[in-house]
Amino acid sequence: MKHELGIHMRGGVITERNADFSTVRIRAPAGVLSVEQLRGIATIAKTYGSGVVHCTTRQTIEIPHVDPKRLKNMAKALEKNGTPIGSEKDEVVNIISCPGTERCKFANIDTIRLAQKIDAKIFGKEMPVKMRIALSGCPNACTSPMLNEIGVIGRVVPVRTKERLCTGCGNCVYYCKEKAIKIRNGISVLDEGKCVDCGVCVQSCSFDLIKAEHRHYLITVGGRRGRHPKVGRNLLTVETEEQVLFVIDKIIDWVYRRAWSGRLLSEQLDEIHFDKLREDIQKHVPAARPVVDKGSGAQHAPPAATQQ
């Protein structure tokens, strides 16, 4: 287990180009740190490093130029600060998220809370391949979840209310980036084949005539960044945080038991039976839905309801 390894073998301890020094990466789920933790990191960076820090693409902080002889004491200081040494090797690394519904007007899910729950369950688990997890509150995908080994995207299906007549004002048409809405005979009409379930039309309706129905989470698997980026495959959609946690547990267990080291997950999805993973999850999560590719290439779950 991670806590049994020598300090030099920890995933968050990275040998620098000058092998006389190490860079130490901290654990910061969803990139959230308190002011007190930031002050502590500043003190630790001055005491054990060169007095600078580096903000990484995975929403965490690295402290460069650390003398390996001081790593044990530094690790104790980081633990006391609530920002322990993080992960970088073949393991579950820092989980990232957008601001979610806490702050972003486009978000459909509470990404930060969910990221912290995922972190508490599986952060640092040793794996045959590196597992990067990213959460996005909407299909704008600011954290590029589809370019991670596991991605989670919050979506909603827009439904126009039947009780009140559409005014045909055109706000929803103006704000829809997918050109999925048109005004016909004085009312708005949705082209489901173009809609990506972002929910912007729900917020744009000045008369509150469009509702967010079937709020759900799209889960993708096998994305990658790097020199040959690849978009992950749509696994399925689920409807609750608990179901997301269950599905991610299943993915992690599947990768742990089946994947080969030395190859990216994206390169071996078929060999380790991606379709069987989906089938197995659907047996345990009745609400899980396969993802349907519509005519325009938009990625969709079968809608719970459509506009009338």
Whole-model pTM: value is: 0.91
Task: Judge whether residue 4 has pLDDT over 70.
Answer: no
* pLDDT higher than threshold 90 for residue 235: yes
Rounded Cα gap, residues 82 and 304, in angstroms: 43
The tokens describing 131, both together, are: 């597992």
Same fold, 2-80 and 96-157+213-300: no
H/E stretch holding 189: strand 187-190
| Consecutive H or E run containing 181 | strand 181-184
Between residues 291 and 167, the one the model is more confident about? 167
The DSSP output letter for 299 is: E
CATH of 96-157+213-300, one of 3.40.50.300, 3.30.413.10, 1.20.20.10, 3.40.710.10: 3.30.413.10
pLDDT in tens, 72-114: 999 999 999 999 999 999 999 999 999 999 999 999 999 999 9
Domain segments of the chain: what residues? 2-80, 96-157+213-300
Domain range 2-80, CATH class: alpha beta
